[in-house]
Structure 1
Amino acid sequence: MEYKEFCLQLIELVGGKENIQSVTNCMTRLRFKLNDRSIAKTDEIKELADVIDVVSNDVAYQVIIGTQVQDIRPEMNKILGLSGESKQTDSGEKEKFITMALRILSEAMGPILIPIMAAGLLAGILSLVSLTGLVSAESSTYLILDSIRQAVFFFLPVLIAISFARRLEVNEYLTVTIALTLMSDAINGAKGLDFLGLKLPETTYSNSFFPIILSIIFMKYVGKALEKVMPKALQYFFNPVLILIITLPVTLILFGPLGTYIGDGLNFVFEFIGNTFGSWSVVMLYAALQPFLITIGAGNFIIPIFMNSYATLGYDPVFTAAWIISDIAVCGAVVGYFFRSKDQKQKQLFGTTAFSAFMGVTEPAVYGVFVKYRRPYIAVMIGGGLGGLFAGLMKVVGYAPVGLFGLASFIGKDNYSNFYMMLIAVIIGFVGAGIAAFILGIPNDEEVEAKQAAPVEMDAEAVTKLLIKAPVKGKNVALSNVNDKAFSSSALGKGLGIEPEEDTIHAPVDGEVVSLFPTNHAIGIKTDYGVEILIHIGINTVELDGKYFETFVKQGDKVSVGDAILKADMAGIRGEGYDPVVITVITNTADYLDVLPSHDTSLSSEEDCLTVVV
């Protein structure tokens, strides 16, 4: 009940229950798949007390909250009436296969990390306890507690079966039955097996990651096929057993070997990189660049890779060390800013985000500090890169996917050198990033704005900003001063208003007319780069029912910048008692880094009024 009001507000701001296709969560964020993202009020969501930021990309509409998301998600499910992982509806939009696969993989992997991280942290605690001599590694107490860690990694296919079954809407109990069958003594690692005379390859399913995923995907399609051919009266009795006896042999014959090849292929790739360039290069690059991946919501892509390493190799040679070093480098960068800043409000921001990063949750620092000031990205590239380089050269490996507080797990089986090298790498990352951030300094607000709006080179390969011309000549009006809450709150997107000094409205960009209100008082234009621009003439002028408005284009027309698209009798509108302010907003603001309005007091249709930072 503690988060009920927050959940109700959030559901309303993303467009209501009917706009939500699915909702899942990872460690720090709610991931929505929305039918129509354009109606989500991103700026208002960002203002909610528990929200750190919002990231909208091809994978999901992500509301970043923090670790309390684990408590918020059940309340969200209850309000939405969800019993499983998602609520699916037909949005009429076909999702790209790669996007769908990444989204499902990311959403299904999130819940599995909870027991894995718990097992990793437990391994670190046991290593410390054993190191101090309080409990012998040969004692029953140690063995009982260590059995938790062993069980999590041995029965990983079962955890995967549960999570993917919920995400793909397959019967959980049938998927777990398949997973347990694969891990039974009769099949797991058994030699000399055959099925109907067909020889089966020897496969250790407890140490494989992909066979069970492929098996669950296949099971979903088998279930759908049986529902079409089996009479409804018989489905309850026969479908489960048919699903099992069809899925198991196909898994043993096809998915077991295929999944093993995929896992071995990933290991080969990293072994090849290590032998060719040195594995240190991957550790260094990921430790340096992880904040960028978090910023764009792509941090989860490594999950199947490092989980495959743990399942097949028993350790992770790359990513566990890299992400811990990167996390502590983020902490170091914000600490550097804390000591550099003289402003108490800034110090409070830097102090709280540094503590959060130290605890392993870096999103508050990345979205609250890095995105605004930019220079901390460079600090982490320096500190995290140096720490990652050292860890890579020293061939540090992770024995459990843990954070900073599970550092003792790097001892593994009495591998103290591995632990000491990791400790040094962490110190290098923290100190290096802290010193770099302190030296780079904190840009003031004017410098931040100037940096965002600075002119840049543009070509067909890389577009970093898009310029929007003023649609009409007139006086610049800040959007917050427009007398319409829907616009002034930026709920419809960032932009500005213009007090018009002429009647003709010009196309501010090259693009296509995607919407034209019947009353001709508002028009929507979309550019080839996907920027969606709404030009709205006047406040409440829809009540004029088209009086004083004339259009020169129709929906679907292509327009070029400067073309006359509408005409409005501004004097007549004023005479009727309406404010004729011409409002221009970017309705898909959330898809871009920022939208910056011009600060010129007056504008002409030949001047830029908005800069969309890509």
Structure 2
Amino acid sequence: MDYAQLAKEIIKNIGGEDNIISLVHCTTRLRFKLKNNDLANKSSVIKLPGVIKVMMIAGQFQIVVGIEVNDVYKEILKQTQLEETMNRKHTGQKRSLFNEAIDIISGIFTPLLGTLAGAGILKGLLILAVSLGMLTEADGAYIILHAAADSLFYFLPIHLAFTAAKKFGADPHVAVVIACALFYPDISLEYNEELELSFFGIPVVLIKYATSVIPIILAIYVTAKLETVFNNVYPKTIKKFFTPLTLIALMVPLTLLVFGPIGNTVSEWLASGYSFVYDNSAIVAGALIGASWQILVIFGLHWGLVPIALNNLSQFEIDTFTAMITPAIFAQAGAVLGVWLKTKQRKVKSIAAPATIAGLFGVTEPAIYGITLRYKKPFIIGCIAGAIGGAIVGISGAGSKSVGLPGLTTLPIFFGQGFWLFLFGVFLAYFIAMIATYFFGYHEQTEDEKISESEALSENENKEHDDSIIISPLTGPVISLEDVDDDVFSSEAIGPGVAIIPIKGSLHAPFSGSVTSVFPTNHGIGLTSDAGIKVLIHIGIETVRLDGKYFDMKVKYGEKVVQGQLLGSFDIEAITREGFDITSPVVITNSHEFLEVISGEAENTVTGDRLLTVIK
């Protein structure tokens, strides 16, 4: 492919360089943001040699060129004056208002989850220590450690200001200044002493901002919008100073006068609504939450309920909601353990074991996608067990004293009223799911559907000598490309293959050959076997937007690799927390050079298993 000529023709047919606002690329496509989309000649671009597909998605003019995208991208930069700093900017796909809300909530809260969990565990351990008489609240050790554990929650609006600014595109330092003003000693004194405060004669309704959530998010959202306006209004020579000046002087009073009271009112409504449901029937509330929580996780809707937990802590200083979802999490782990105990298949065991452990520590996606949802009955049993445990926890009245991802390490945060009944409900759900799955939820395949251990070993020994076989680079369930939520892969525009939903964050070489492409964001790699088979492995969908975060590629362009060699690693939990689909296509990009590409019949795969066969 003549990259220089293709780049030149692309620039020409999308309206020239002056029509380009920005350009980024992922593993297979160029993503242009254009000033005027009407100037782009889609029919001419699609005819260019090397162009596979052209799409207009979410305001982006996307050109699919396959694995050579990085070379075309570099050539376009050579031929234009597009600045490198613009090439990291992206826009997401157009979504419904509900999906947009979920994305905003997850984007603001997920960066804090690890720290919130750590501080929450420490806070729970301190509560436990005081209850057992190991410490008193007057001890210096308690005072210092409590300050360490509680400061994150007390100053939560400051942390949220920073993450919200990142999400909305505002200056994070300005956002933090706005949040800090709410805790300034003079303001706090006015609130604590119940004094009257006014701003140029306008009375200020003072509220408690410690541990609050909604007021600061509203304030930073508006700040981001106004920042764009002021940056366009002020001349370049002064906007660096005058935009922050204007925002601070305007947004601090507005937050105290408007966003604080509005946010506080919304928080009170949310708390009252939750209390109405919980107080009327804690058993029903616990059963419904326990039964439905993992269903919400499947669709990513659980992020929309995170503010409920934080708001409960802010309003009541205890959160019963998190307590009621805990049995649902343990139940899925129990269901997977039941499968692990029952199965005699090496592949299923290798998936179930790490999924069980992850579930016990609060991460259920490997359990759901790797085992329970795949076999259906274990998932249903897990939901039923979660409902039973949730009902018991609802009766107990137990609640968390801080934020934490429910799991073994965070159980101390629930210590207090109803704790022992809470533990009973959680572990009852776990054991019900495990036992019911073992006896009723999972049945082995018939013998003629299985490959014996000796046959499997024989296959593995022969693989390295058969250059037409592509072994699995990942471990996890295998799905058809047509089920991938991406038009380019599902239509096989890049080439045929399969997709894997990985449950282990390690990527291995599917054959012996060389590395022909490693993308800057490390989420994709191109390989060519010694026999000339070209494979593209794309970790996740739209993960280019992570800008390399959570990916560690251990090989470089041009490097020789051997079959089974570790190519890189990635953090499945972190990627899914950011809201990305971890489904990973494995595609033969030069299939036209061969007679046929045949996929294996396995529904689950372990690294090293036969995945694809190329007929020459």
- Counterpart AA for 2:140: S
- Counterpart AA for 2:434: G
Per the alignment, in what secondary structure is the counterpart of residue 186 of structure 1? helix
Structure-1 residue corresponding to 2:411: 407
| Candidates 208, 213, 217, aligned match of 2:217 | 213
Structure-2 residue corresponding to 1:295: 298
Aligned residues: 395
Q: Give the distance between the partners of 1:152 and 1:237, measured in 2 at CA.
A: 30
CA distance 1:117–1:259, change in 2 (3 Å): same
CA distance 1:131–1:279, change in 2 (3 Å): closer
Percent sequence identity is 25
Q: CA deviation at 1:391?
A: 0.7
Say if 1:13 and 1:40, in contact at 8 Å, map to a contact too. no
Structure-2 residue corresponding to 1:488: 496
Say if 1:380 and 1:433, in contact at 8 Å, map to a contact too. yes
Structure-1 residue corresponding to 2:379: 377
Structure 1: give runs of 5+ residues left out of the alignment.
1-11, 22-32, 42-80, 450-467, 469-483, 493-576, 584-614
Q: Give the distance between the partners of 2:65 and 2:129, measured in 1 at CA.
A: 50
- Counterpart AA for 2:260: G
Normalized against structure 1, the TM-score is what? 0.58
Normalized against structure 2, the TM-score is what? 0.58
| Candidates 281, 284, 303, aligned match of 1:281 | 284
Per the alignment, in what secondary structure is the counterpart of residue 422 of structure 1? helix
Say if 2:320 and 2:398, in contact at 8 Å, map to a contact too. yes
Q: CA deviation at 1:202?
A: 2.3
Q: Give the distance between the partners of 2:197 and 2:382, measured in 1 at CA.
A: 52
Q: Give the distance between the partners of 1:34 and 1:401, measured in 2 at CA.
A: 38
Q: CA deviation at 1:186?
A: 2.3
Q: Give the distance between the partners of 1:82 and 1:133, measured in 2 at CA.
A: 57
Structure-2 residue corresponding to 1:438: 438
- Counterpart AA for 2:299: I
CA deviations on 1:143-189 (whole Å, 9 max, x unpaired) are 21111122111100001011011111211111111101011232243
Structure-2 residue corresponding to 1:24: none
Structure-2 residue corresponding to 1:156: 156
CA distance 1:420–1:225, change in 2 (3 Å): same
- Counterpart AA for 2:364: T
Structure-2 residue corresponding to 1:345: 347
Q: Give the distance between the partners of 1:220 and 1:375, measured in 2 at CA.
A: 47
Structure 2: give runs of 5+ residues left out of the alignment.
1-23, 34-57, 67-83, 450-481, 483-491, 501-591, 599-616
Say if 1:410 and 1:419, in contact at 8 Å, map to a contact too. yes
Structure-2 residue corresponding to 1:323: 325
Structure-1 residue corresponding to 2:570: none
Structure-2 residue corresponding to 1:499: none
For the pair 1:180 / 2:195, whether they are aligned, the reply is no
CA distance 1:438–1:231, change in 2 (3 Å): same
Per the alignment, in what secondary structure is the counterpart of residue 427 of structure 2? helix
Q: Give the distance between the partners of 2:65 and 2:319, measured in 1 at CA.
A: 39
CA distance 1:122–1:247, change in 2 (3 Å): same
Pairwise CA RMSD: 3.6
Structure-1 residue corresponding to 2:264: 260
Q: Give the distance between the partners of 1:34 and 1:382, measured in 2 at CA.
A: 43
How do 1:26-41 and structure 2 match up within 5 A? Answer: none
| Candidates 200, 204, 215, aligned match of 1:200 | 204
For the pair 1:15 / 2:27, whether they are aligned, the reply is yes
Say if 1:284 and 1:388, in contact at 8 Å, map to a contact too. yes
- Counterpart AA for 2:497: S
Q: Give the distance between the partners of 1:425 and 1:37, measured in 2 at CA.
A: 51
The runs of at least 4 aligned residues of structure 1 exceeding 6 Å deviation read: 36-41, 577-581
Per the alignment, in what secondary structure is the counterpart of residue 429 of structure 2? helix
CA distance 1:486–1:97, change in 2 (3 Å): closer
Q: CA deviation at 1:357?
A: 0.9
Q: Give the distance between the partners of 1:289 and 1:354, measured in 2 at CA.
A: 20
Q: CA deviation at 1:260?
A: 0.4
Say if 2:161 and 2:179, in contact at 8 Å, map to a contact too. yes
Structure-2 residue corresponding to 1:333: 335
Q: Give the distance between the partners of 2:114 and 2:64, measured in 1 at CA.
A: 33
Q: CA deviation at 1:365?
A: 0.7
Say if 1:166 and 1:172, in contact at 8 Å, map to a contact too. yes
CA deviations on 1:518-572 (whole Å, 9 max, x unpaired) are xxxxxxxxxxxxxxxxxxxxxxxxxxxxxxxxxxxxxxxxxxxxxxxxxxxxxxx
For the pair 1:103 / 2:103, whether they are aligned, the reply is yes
CA deviations on 1:489-542 (whole Å, 9 max, x unpaired) are 1479xxxxxxxxxxxxxxxxxxxxxxxxxxxxxxxxxxxxxxxxxxxxxxxxxx
CA distance 1:262–1:20, change in 2 (3 Å): farther
